[in-house]
């Protein structure tokens, strides 16, 4: 073989290898919102782990609001506008009714680990998988959040009776709980809350601590409830099912095997970083801590929890979902971990 032919073969071989390597590379777009914070640390960790395990062949390109509005992320997943996204069930309860069981008030969740266990139990239930399957979405992992509490301006509600007429940003089951004590719950996305609070559209906001800090509700707040604990929201991370099925076995394994480690990182970050900052922020800004008596909280739970669960079960059953089974699954999972 002449030198010219050898050179031609070498070039062709190099190009073939280059094209093959390029063909093996996989990039997914991931739609989040706001900015990097405790709420997104598991997705950030997932991206890091997947890249490490595949030698950079599989990358998750995370976008904070550049791909979609947070309330439209499930729609974007359904049409394949991006391959992965995070959303909250309460944004569109009618689109994901099965997982709204996790947003019922006063379920008794007392840790992020318990929230993960309950969420994954529901996510692995065939009814939830079929429900999200209508949107071409596969549930991957939750974004576990502690119990919500309320930051507000103006006069602090020192008893539960003081909530009557108070405009509160609260979604899902937390909104139902607020309505039960006479408050006026308003649903809006997290990114709209600060403006609504500053303009007086709402006087109080129900969030987990990280969100109160990330979205600025503590900047002008006068009070914070320490122990109302009406519930939390459920915000899954999902993948477009077609994109997930199209992954190579190696890349799929890299993704799915990284979920537990990503969640462990999230819990460590939330407990050790976020919560360590929360108390000092309240002190720095002179925000008064409001606590309620055991008697008031017991009465609150008894008035809200049972009726909310009963209504959810009836409505879900009417939709064709196994409402009682899903509710029993959640309560049994929580009880087993306590």
Burial class (CB within 10 angstroms; exposed 0-12, middle 13-18, buried 19+) of 204? buried
Spatial distance between the Cα atoms of 53 and 57, rounded to a whole number of angstroms:
9
**pLDDT for residue 176:** 87
Structure-token pair, residue 19: 């094209």
Q: Please tell me the total number of residues recorded for the chain in this structure.
A: 338
Residue 7 has pLDDT above 50, yes or no: no
Predicted confidence band of residue 182 (pLDDT cuts 50, 70, 90):
very high
Tens digits of per-residue pLDDT, 206-221? 998 989 999 999 999 9
Spatial distance between the Cα atoms of 26 and 244, rounded to a whole number of angstroms:
11
Residue 96 has pLDDT above 70, yes or no: yes
**Residues linked to residue 238 through DSSP beta bridges, in sequence order:** 85, 139
For residues 6-16, one letter each, b for 16 or more C-beta atoms within 10 angstroms of the residue's C-beta and e for the rest, the string is eeeeeeeeeee
E strand intervals along 105-195:
137-141, 149-152, 167-169, 184-186
Tens digits of per-residue pLDDT, 13-65? 454 444 444 447 999 999 999 999 999 999 999 999 999 999 999 999 999 99
The better pLDDT of the pair 265, 18 is held by 265
Fold of 26-143+234-274: D-Maltodextrin-Binding Protein; domain 2 (3.40.190)
Spatial distance between the Cα atoms of 68 and 21, rounded to a whole number of angstroms:
31
| Percentage of the chain lying above the pLDDT 90 cut | 81
CA distances from 115 to 6, 72, 137, 251 (A): 63, 24, 21, 28
Mean pLDDT of 292-317: 93
Domain residues of the chain, as ranges? 26-143+234-274, 149-232+286-337
Spatial distance between the Cα atoms of 77 and 175, rounded to a whole number of angstroms:
27
The kind and range of the H/E element at 38 are none
All residues at 6 or more sequence positions from 109 whose CB lies less than 8 Å from its CB, including other chains = 115, 118, 147, 232, 334
Mean pLDDT of 176-190: 90
Looking at every residue in the chain, the average pLDDT score rounds to 92
Query: Top-level CATH class of 149-232+286-337?
Result: alpha beta
Predicted confidence band of residue 1 (pLDDT cuts 50, 70, 90):
low
Could you identify the residue written with the tokens 């970083």? 273
**pLDDT for residue 157:** 94
Indicate the range of 1-15, 158-172, 304-318 predicted with least confidence. 1-15
Residue 120 has pLDDT above 50, yes or no: yes
Residue 84 has pLDDT above 90, yes or no: yes
- pTM attached to this predicted model: 0.85
CATH topology agreement for domains 26-143+234-274 and 149-232+286-337 = yes
Range with top average pLDDT, 70-79, 103-112, 182-191: 70-79
Predicted confidence band of residue 191 (pLDDT cuts 50, 70, 90):
confident
Cβ atoms within 10 Å of 184's Cβ, excluding its own: 16
Q: For the chain, report the end-to-end CA distance as a whole number of angstroms.
A: 75
Name which of 73, 34, 75 is nearest 208 in CA terms. 34
Structure-token pair, residue 185: 């719950």
DSSP tag of 319: T
26 and 247 in contact (C-beta within 8 Å)?
yes
């Amino acid at each position: 073989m002449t030198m010219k032919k050898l050179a031609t073969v070498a070039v062709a071989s190099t190009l073939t290898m280059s094209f093959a390597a390029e063909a093996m590379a996989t990039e997914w777009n991931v739609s989040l919102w706001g900015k990097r914070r405790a709420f997104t640390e598991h997705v950030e960790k997932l991206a890091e782990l997947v890249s490490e395990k595949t030698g950079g062949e599989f990358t998750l390109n995370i976008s904070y609001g550049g791909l979609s509005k947070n309330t439209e992320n499930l729609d974007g997943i359904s049409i394949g506008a991006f391959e992965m996204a995070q959303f909250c069930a309460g944004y569109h309860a009618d689109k994901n009714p099965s997982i709204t069981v996790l947003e019922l008030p006063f379920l008794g969740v007392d840790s992020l680990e318990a929230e993960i266990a309950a969420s994954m139990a529901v996510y692995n239930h065939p009814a939830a998988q079929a429900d999200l399957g209508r949107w071409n979405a596969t549930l991957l992992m939750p974004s576990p959040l502690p119990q919500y509490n309320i930051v507000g301006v103006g006069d602090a509600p020192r008893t539960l009776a003081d909530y009557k007429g108070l405009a509160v940003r609260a979604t899902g089951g937390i909104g139902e709980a607020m309505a039960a004590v006479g408050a006026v719950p308003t649903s809006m996305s997290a990114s709209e809350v600060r403006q609504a609070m500053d303009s007086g559209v709402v006087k109080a906001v129900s969030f987990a601590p990280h969100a109160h800090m990330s979205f600025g509700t503590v900047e002008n707040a006068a009070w914070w409830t320490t122990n109302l604990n009406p519930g939390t929201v459920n915000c899954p991370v999902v993948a477009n099912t077609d994109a997930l099925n199209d992954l190579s076995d190696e890349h799929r394994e890299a993704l799915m095997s990284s979920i537990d480690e990503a969640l462990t990182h999230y819990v460590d970050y939330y407990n050790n970083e976020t919560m360590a900052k929360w108390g000092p922020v309240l002190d720095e800004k002179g925000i008064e801590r409001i606590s309620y008596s055991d008697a008031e909280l017991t009465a609150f739970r008894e008035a809200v929890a049972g009726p909310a669960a009963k209504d959810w079960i009836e409505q879900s059953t009417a939709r064709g979902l196994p409402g009682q089974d899903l509710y029993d699954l959640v309560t049994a999972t929580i009880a087993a971990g306590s």
